Structure 1
Amino acid sequence: MKSFRTYRDGLRISGKIYGEITPGKPKPAFILCHGFMANSSMCKGYAKLLAKLGYLAFTFDFCGGGLISASQGKTTEMSVMTEVKDLMSVFSYVSYMEYVDSDRISLLGCSQGGFVCAIAAKQLKEKIHSLILLYPALCIPADARAGHMMFARFDPHNIPDTIRCGPMKLGSVYVTDVIDMNPYREIKGYEGPVLFLQGTEDNVVDPGYARRAIREYPDCTYHEIKGAGHMFRGEHDELAKQYIREFVSTH
């Protein structure tokens, strides 16, 4: 495992590279994106899996994206759209690496990171070889309109400058960047292969969002993992990894 760093608007983004780097032999790559209030360790298991399957797997901490982060940035200045910018910076960095096959860069995202990946894939289009979404948080815009985002409660018609979300402090930008957003419109347009995994017992992102979202992808493999909640654990995580193995072996 090696470390890397890149920058977005002067903020350092720190990450790790899993997999064997072979000079003169570019490899396909995955960029993995973690969820809300987390860091790159959330994706470590998937990065190790992809490395074993012959990929270079890049994980990183979003700027202001969690309580413990190796990257710079304030949680009060973070939003879904600033995280899209972070991902775009990492994508640019990865795509110029001589040991990466720039025609085979894929994205994998969990929860909020999945929503971020879906938006970025729509913007990057054919530059993204494939897309893996694990319980993407497509509920975020509707939650903003409801004034109820995870642990945060606020008046959506009078958004405060700062919002307490459990142990984490958010800024108004977390709400204002998404409150008028139609998530399906934001992700529509990516036509590459997609693997979409959703737990049937997810109490954070209702499975209805996944069932609606897959209609926007012309080449989508969709699996609901029975009994799985938000974030996969134990046998549910092992099943998710099996689906990932099957998907990357044919794409």
Structure 2
Amino acid sequence: MAWQDSVKHYAAFLAEMGYVAFTFDFCGGSAMCGKSDGKTTEMSVLTETKDLKAVIEYVRNLSYTDSEKILLMGCSQGGFVSALVAAKNNFPIEKLGLFYPALCIPDDARAGKMMMAKFDPQNVPDTFRCGLMKLGCCYAMDVMQMDAFAEIKNYAGRVCIVHGTKDKIVDVSYAKRAAEAYKSTMPIGMQDSKRVQLHFIDGGGHMFSKKHDVIAMKLLKEFAAKHE
């Protein structure tokens, strides 16, 4: 639940490496600064997967992109959405970069506590507030029965997860469980392969500080290098 300006520096960084970088705002995904239309009360992880699939379809059909060499990257909820799409996409995603992916969202919905919002999970209100954002019941209901790790584990490409050890919104344990989920689908004897990379940034929170971003971008550069 942010907007593209918060991640544009990653796109610019990848563009300097030779990638065609594309950022966008999810429909209804921002309270104030987003450029896409759509109501925040109609937004959920599932609506955002549809948005992302539409964007990928657009980008991969541009004359100057390589549809077989897609690197998909997402942060927080965008990371969760990216992981879902990568696992169930009709076209290949070569690499998947996840910064502090919010794989906690289904568990949070079942607990009735989604960041600053609290509600009865057995009786989710039509709308509820999470800070400045007014969300609809679909935000919780669409993931209430979802097993995040079962949904993402079948992605077969390369994945790099970067998570701060002091993240107070998405506990670092979710990154560890995600890495194990990805490894669980690998053939026996390949669990230590570089296909699944998990990196921790000591002291890093949710959304990296400038100091921690330097570390994260170094890891991103190594992961995204085209010779790999």
TM (normalized to structure 1)? 0.84
**Count of equivalent residues:** 215
For 1:101 and 1:166, how far apart are their aligned partners in 2? 40
Query: In the aligned structure 1, how far is the partner of 2:90 from the partner of 2:221?
Result: 23
Runs of 4+ in 1 over 4 A off after TM superposition: none
1:231 aligned partner: 207
Q: Does 1:206 align with 2:171?
A: yes
Deviations 1:147-197 (A, max 9, x none): 110111111001111111111100000010001111101101001111110
What is the DSSP-based 3-state SS (H/G/I as helix, E as strand, rest coil) of the residue aligned with 1:198?
strand
Structure 2 segments unaligned to the other structure (5+ residues) = 184-194
Which of 155, 160, 163 is the equivalent residue of 1:190? 155
1:155 aligns with 2:120: yes
Pairing partner for 2:111 from 127, 131, 146: 146
Unaligned runs of 5+ in 1: 1-35
SS of 1:41's equivalent? helix
User: Which of residues 33, 36, 56 in structure 2 aligns to 1:71?
Assistant: 36
- Report what 2:224 is aligned to: 248
Q: Which has the higher strand share?
A: 1
Which range is displaced more, 67-76 or 121-130?
121-130
131, 134, 139: which one aligns with 1:166: 131
**Contact (CA 8 Å) 1:125, 1:191: kept in 2 or not?**
no
Partner of 1:103: 68
Provide, for residues 38-78 of structure 1, a one-character-per-residue CA deviation record: whole Å limited to 9, x for no partner. 10011111001001000011000000000121101000000
State how far apart, in whole Å, the 1-side matches of 2:95 and 2:118 are: 36
Q: Which amino acid aligns with 1:230?
A: H
1:121 CA drift (Å): 0.3
Aligned twin of 2:83: 118
* Per-residue deviation, 1:90: 0.2
In the alignment, the residues of structure 2 paired with residue 191 and residue 222 of structure 1 have an alpha-carbon distance, to the nearest angstrom, of 16
TM-score normalised to structure 2 length: 0.92
The answer to whether the 8 Å contact 1:81/1:177 transfers is yes
Quote the RMSD (CA, aligned, Å).
Answer: 1.0
Deviation at 1:216, TM superposition (A): 2.0
Secondary structure, in 3 states, of the residue corresponding to 1:195? Answer: strand
Which residue does the alignment assign to 1:221? 197
Q: State the distance in 2 between where 1:222 and 1:126 align.
A: 25
Q: Specify the SS of the correspondent of 1:107.
A: strand
1:178 aligned partner, one-letter code:
V
